[in-house]
Amino acid sequence: MDFEKIISRVGSSIVVFFHRVVRLALSPYKTMRSIARDDDMIQLALIIMSIGGYFYIADKLRQYEHHPFLLFSLTLVHFLLTVGFFALLRMATTNEKEIKIKPALLIFGYALIPTLVWFLANSWLYYVLPPPRTVSLLGKGFSILYISFSIAILIWKIITMYLAVRLVTRFAFYRIIYSMLLYGACMIPYSLFLYSLRLFRIPFL
């Protein structure tokens, strides 16, 4: 009976996960608010497994210089540092000395979905249309579509990240902007350091 309950719970979490991924693109605000009231770590595990699966598949398609497990491990470190940064920022600037860590992990986990979609699309395009690409009309058309897609994903990422910070920290608008700028200021030298080690051209954030 216990085994059946586990299977039922896992199956339910999988359905909710895919539903939320779709809803995250269509209605990010409502979806992130519903995620903020949840603490289902199975969904977080699915996100982490999806990211791990991406690194494994991408390595088969384009062969990274470093082992995909190393890149996956660094991504988990990025993720935990991000959650810790905003959690500590909230505790340092408010009277609250405790924070519900499970919802915070889940919220920022879902904020990685736009990043995952962009990296998956890049790996697939690298396999289907490997560089160098021509400067023909079709080549220019592809470049325009790719840039438009990347901008759309970037906007989606900014929205989900803003909502994640808002729901975890409960800051007002300007304080959210300041905290995100501070986060960016910390991430830029860190990203450049990883780039200098040829680990990430673009960090998985």
pLDDT above 80 (res 132): no
User: Number of structural domains, the chain?
Assistant: 1
Cα atoms found within 13 Å of the Cα of residue 199, Cβ hemisphere only: 16
Give me the pLDDT at residue 133, please. 59
Whether 141 is covered by a domain: the verdict is yes
pLDDT above 80 (res 11): yes
- Whether the Cβ atoms of residue 198 and residue 65 lie closer than 8 Å to each other: yes
Give me the torsion for CA of 81, 85, 86, 91, rounded to 10°. 130
In terms of residue numbers, what domain contains 111?
Answer: 2-196
Q: Which two tokens stand for residue 102?
A: 């499970």
Whether 205 is covered by a domain: the verdict is no
Rounded distance between C-alpha atoms, residue 83 and residue 73, angstroms: 16
Could you give the 3-state DSSP secondary structure of residue 56? helix
Whether 76 is covered by a domain: the verdict is yes
Q: How confident is residue 136, by pLDDT bands cut at 50, 70 and 90?
A: low
Q: How confident is residue 24, by pLDDT bands cut at 50, 70 and 90?
A: very high
Rounded distance between C-alpha atoms, residue 83 and residue 109, angstroms: 9
Whether 204 is covered by a domain: the verdict is no
pTM for this one? 0.89
Sign of CA dihedral 114, 123, 144, 199: positive
pLDDT above 80 (res 7): yes
- Whether the Cβ atoms of residue 203 and residue 187 lie closer than 8 Å to each other: yes
Q: Within its chain, how far is the Cα of 38 from the centroid? A: 18
Whether 185 is covered by a domain: the verdict is yes
Least confident of 30-44, 72-86, 139-153: 139-153
pLDDT above 80 (res 156): yes
Give mean pLDDT, residues 25-53: 93
Q: How confident is residue 174, by pLDDT bands cut at 50, 70 and 90?
A: very high
State pLDDT tens for residues 111-126.
999 999 999 998 888 7
Whether 39 is covered by a domain: the verdict is yes
CB atoms within 10 A of CB 31: 20
